Amino acid sequence: MVVMGMGFIFVYIVFSICNINTQESTTDYPTTSNYELELKNNCVFKDLDTNTSKLNNVTVAAPEGPQNLTVLDITPNSLYLQWCNPYKKNGIIEGYRLYYVFHNCTNYMEDQIPFAEPYIRYNLTKLEPLTEYQIYVRAFTKKFEGSRSKVLITTTDIGGPSAPKILKLACQANETLFVHWERPSSYYYSIDFYYVFINLGTAIYDKLKMPTKTDHLDTAITHKVPANALYSVQIQALTRSNLTKRLIRGEMSIPHTIEITKNCDKVADYLADATSELGYGILAGVLCASSALIVAGLAFLIYRKCFRAPYYYLDNVQRTAASLDWNAIPEPVNDSPGRPIPVTLFARHVQELHADGDIGFSKEYDTIQNETNNDDNPSEQSQHPDNKPKNRYLNIIAYDHSRVNLLTIKGEKVSTYINANYIDGFLVARAYIGTQGPLPSTFDCFWRMVWEQRVTIIVMITNLVERGRRKCDMYWPKEGTETYGIIQVKLVKEDIMATYTVRTLAIRHMKVNFKNKKRDISAEKTVYQYHYTNWPDHGTPDHPLPVINFVKNSSSANPPDSGPIIVHCSAGVGRTGTYIVLDAMLRQIRTRGEVNIYGFLKHIRAQRNFLVQTEEQYIFIHDALVEAIECGETNICRENFPRYVSALQNVNCEEKDELWKPLDAQFKLVTSFVPKDFHLVSANKPVNQPKNRCAIIVPVESSRVHLTPKPGEDGSDYINASWLQGFHNLREFIITQHPFKHTVYDFWQMVWDHNAHLIVFISFIDNSEYEAFWPVGNEVIETDTYICQLTHEHSTSNYYIREFLMKSVQDDYEIPIKMLHCVNWPHQVPKISEMYHLPTFVLEMQRVQNGPIVVVDRFGGTEAATFCALTTLKKHLIYDNKIDVYMYAKLYHNKRPGIWISSDDYMRLHMCVQALCNPPEPGIVEAAPDLYSLANGNINAPSTSRDCIRIPPEETPLVTIDVLNSKGY
């Protein structure tokens, strides 16, 4: 049987159930010959009578053996194989027979699986752990079976340990959970880690990774958890594979359940000491029970009197588990897009989809589009005449079966319709609510949904206006308090960052009437809105790292006992679906070490239409997950940062394979972007090349700082300067080189055009190639646009501070500017703990300054980038108590390739931040670090040099003396 050019693979399995005396006369015969074939076997075959078979004078035209039989992935119970077609097919290949031998015995079974050109892949399953297999493949036509391939000898991976045994589960002081367990009874080689799963309801509340102790057969931990909740605990042992170095999970222990309450240790002590007063305890119990009944009755009366409807209470409904049918391996298995892909193979899988102009992505996305039809899911409520005005777009509707129904309010006629759908997450049903950007007419419905669904996190992925079109209406107060129907919303705080904003909102239900005003707090709830501001409509962000960071931060902020995360963009389908798929797949990666974008997207498209609206967004999800898998976890808590830095430097660190990548691997990823010619169009123009001090450190087109162009003058808008993002703004820094004599006017034009009020100058003056580029004394720099003059200068023990005033030639507009000059930073810094003196001083100055900070070193290279990175990382640490050096280093490299010359540059960022996290103790003498063994410029180079050679910092004090004497500092 042949379907769409595809055939079948027959799998022959070998069992150790009998002794074999087998002669295969079909082995390796020529393509055309006469044969007498006889097969003798002592085993009993149920399906075929092959004990004795003879073929006399048969003319055979058989295929040659398949080529390049290899194994792509090895697990304890499977081998993922690949081979190519025979060179000479001698007919139409109908299929392949795959033989595998172990324990020297032959039997077989058949499994029909489609294959396609030019290579064939097959996942051989149901194998035994740590077992050697001999595998070969034969192609066959309608009449003949061909020669066998080269025999592949390989061994499966070790299996996971058996289940640990929980010995004790108890509640201790300060709402602390105590778990004590016994090592598994059976395992291969060693047990390397334990996973402790703490479940709240059906959802995982926390997962702890514990190293093993070789000198103990049992292990115990304590872990603080919120009180007044019922927890289920399970333990899983893990063994590190000798083949792939990944961790292999064992069996889960039997779940044990415990309720954690406040002061539970005191209650236990009291009960232990109360046995002598058992009679009094029983009497007290009866009295307490009677009192409780009386109190409950009074509470019910108060409840009936104070509340107009039970609707106003927030119900604590536990989350339910979601089906994993979408993640099942489809039939047939080979190259089916719906199969889960191990993280070790995912990057190669994405690379294959990108081949030939992303043709693989196009095929997959077209299949999803064709197989998810709106006609299969009715949406009658969305089409109702009364509800159509509540839909932002006519074609974006809410399926009836998954639509969020608002509750009715007793005594009032209000609509229960809102264009919103429940959407499953990974392992959690209804983990999200996907909805459109609220309209003014649906503000009240939106906030009712937030209240009723116990929502804590709102994710907004659109700007109010994009490309001149209204995408969403402002459904929260700009300041103070606004009332939307029966919900009052107060803006408590707004934290603005470069790519997203977090708003803290306090919401209150206006229909809750308490006569005791002291209990008004019960009618309020805190909601956090995570608003991503750098995601274009129908498009994708410039780089996935900020998006991954946003998804992780917003998702992890949702408490375990809270309701679904509300996700909306404009229509609530494109960017909304992208966010949901990313979050779900990140959870699948953490939980199972696999990815199934195709299967999950098909599943959730049956819950809300058009999720992940474009092929570009579908591709972005894959690329973002490749980035997340390759870089590992890089957003590190303050308390873990020293251990993280140690792991970067230690190639033998046990945790690097799972969580943290070593330094060289990270640096390779940080600097992986190599600009093409089209990225450097302006920098490489002949008219602009003389404006570049270093040919390898030039701005890419997307981040280039533009000057006001002069009519008819080619290159007049160019300066060797790049925008870099900070913590609060995408254009927080301008990083640029020391100006030439012929680019001084361009430099001040840039300061004028972009309203920069602060310049940080960390180079030096040698009165030769690196001269002063500012007006000195009564000098004036004047153009047709501005006049610049020095107004004041003074020095401190570490810095020179100059103040300038730039005035417009046409009007009264003027800009006050400060220049902070720290000579030869960071090479002259004596201790690594003092590296942050300059960034901290600049942050204080920035409080009263507007516009971007212009940072100048010799080439606009490593020193300037280091200053920007350290400044940004300090702000990140203050706000979030976390540090992500990798993300900022990679984003900076992509904006200005060449700023990180070696892994030492990247490591120094970590060392400086580590000193910020853990300042040296008083009284301990800190050794002077070799921060930069070489600087990023050549002092003695001739003025025409374009070299970026680093020279020892010992030479710089001589230059500094010259600066002081010649310029009167």
DSSP at 419? S
Q: Give the side-chain half-sphere CA count within 13 A for 186.
A: 5
DSSP SS3 for 916 = helix
Query: Phi/psi of residue 142, each to 5°?
Result: -65, -25
Task: Bin 538: left if φ > 0, else alpha if -120 < ψ < 50, else beta.
Answer: left
Report the distance separating Cα 671 and Cα 661, nearest Å.
Answer: 15
Cis amide bond preceding 826, omega within 30: yes
Q: What is the 3-state secondary structure (H, E, C) of 720-755?
A: CEEEECCCCCCCCEEEEECCCHHHHHHHHHHHHHCC
Of the residues 264, 569, 868, 948, only one is catalytic, namely 569
Rounded to 5 degrees, what angle do the CA atoms 327, 331, 333 make?
80
Rounded to 5 degrees, what angle do the CA atoms 736, 739, 740 make?
145
C-alpha closest to that of 322 among 428, 430, 422: 428
Q: Write down the residue that tokens 């006399």 correspond to.
A: 56
DSSP SS3 for 13 = strand
Establish whether 569 is a catalytic residue: yes
Q: Give the side-chain half-sphere CA count within 13 A for 175.
A: 11
DSSP at 537? T
DSSP at 518? G
Instruction: Give the distance from CA 732 to its chain's centroid.
Output: 24
Residue 287: both structure tokens together? 């009295």
Report, in angstroms and rounded to the nearest whole number, the Rg of the chain calculated over CA atoms. Answer: 34
Name 432's bridge partners: 423, 565
Task: Bin 737: left if φ > 0, else alpha if -120 < ψ < 50, else beta.
Answer: beta
Cis amide bond preceding 86, omega within 30: no
Report the distance separating Cα 393 and Cα 572, nearest Å.
Answer: 10
Residue 296: both structure tokens together? 């409950």
C-alpha closest to that of 250 among 205, 191, 202, 314: 191
Q: First and final CA of the chain: distance in angstroms?
A: 89
Residues with a known catalytic role = 569
